[in-house]
Amino acid sequence: MTADQPDRRGAGPATERRGPAPPGAAWARTTVVVITRDRRDQLLRTLERLAALPGRPPVVVVDNASSDGTAEAVAARYPEVLLVSPGRNLGAVGRTLGVRHARTPYVAFSDDDSWWQPGALAAAERLLDDHPRLGLVAASVRVGEDGRREDPLNAELASSPLGREPGLPGTRVLGFLACAAVARREAYLEAGGYHPVVFFAGEEQLLAYDLEACGWAVCHCPEVVAVHGPVGGVRGGRRAVMRRNAVLTAWLRRPVGVALRRTGRLAADAARRGAEAREAREAREALRGVLERLPAALRARRRLPAHVEEAARRVEGGDRGGCRPPEAGVG
């Protein structure tokens, strides 16, 4: 089995390295979980930002089989960080491994190029304390080293057609950005965390579906702010993987008709020629990935409850709150 193949066993055996607990760990209520792979310098920058937060929340870093000395650098510079090494690349499932190692009621997620604004985690804790049905807070996102630019995703989340409901603190959504989310640990684990069939890229929508299916709400709360400071461009092949995962998500949770239409649209795009050659190549790559993973998706298939399916259709009708078109995903 390669690292990029579906593996419902999840995390598997892992090693951990734990130094002295950070100041305030005994009364911390939120743990920050970070996944990383071969981006040592970006990760160290993120850990510096997290260490400067009020109360210095405990941090769990899951190293997805880096080969650039990430583990050694973290152990040397941040011995208080719990470093978990599964020994292979788990993709987004690495976050679930981190959540299992957390010992706080809430977990916030950062990637190796994102962090939280001061006060953001305390704001999320208040929201989760005050709204027992709230399972995940979809934060607003600021972009750049200084966090001055607003991510267009914020407007999409705020305009979700699902609107607001009594007893919830923000607009209901069926999508979010993984590195800008704070979850109730109980809810995350009940929903099963991120799914190994999709592995990585656009994985958030499936988790949002599963949280809602378990009775937990996902809400956009703009007062909780994460900063995304990406270095370099989009990794090669990401668009194809996101298209693949949008189709796989349909096979995992949506009616057969929806899944067939998504697959047919992807197949039609894959057959195009001429001026759209690049898009056709991406579609063919995505389609190959769907066919490789489809048996695992069918084995894990579980239809959404009627009320969640209805919400998914409402979101798709407005192309908002999902919060990207189905072929793109969020992330």
- Residue 39 sits at the vertex; the CA angle it makes with 107 and 60, to the nearest 5 degrees, is 25
Question: Which pTM value belongs to this model?
Answer: 0.88
Please, what sign has the CA dihedral across residues 169, 213, 125, 36?
negative
The model's pLDDT over 212-236, given as tens digits with 9 standing for 90+, comes to 999 999 999 999 999 998 876 556 6
Q: Which residues of the chain have pLDDT under 70?
A: 1-26, 232-236, 274-276, 318-331
The answer to whether 209 and 300 are in contact (CB under 8 A) is no
User: For residue 57, what are the CA distances in angstroms to 24, 124, 180, 183, 184?
Assistant: 7, 13, 16, 15, 16
The model's pLDDT over 62-85, given as tens digits with 9 standing for 90+, comes to 999 999 999 999 999 999 999 999
Q: What structural domains does the chain harbor? A: 30-228 (3.90.550.10), 238-318 (no CATH)
The answer to whether 221 and 127 are in contact (CB under 8 A) is yes
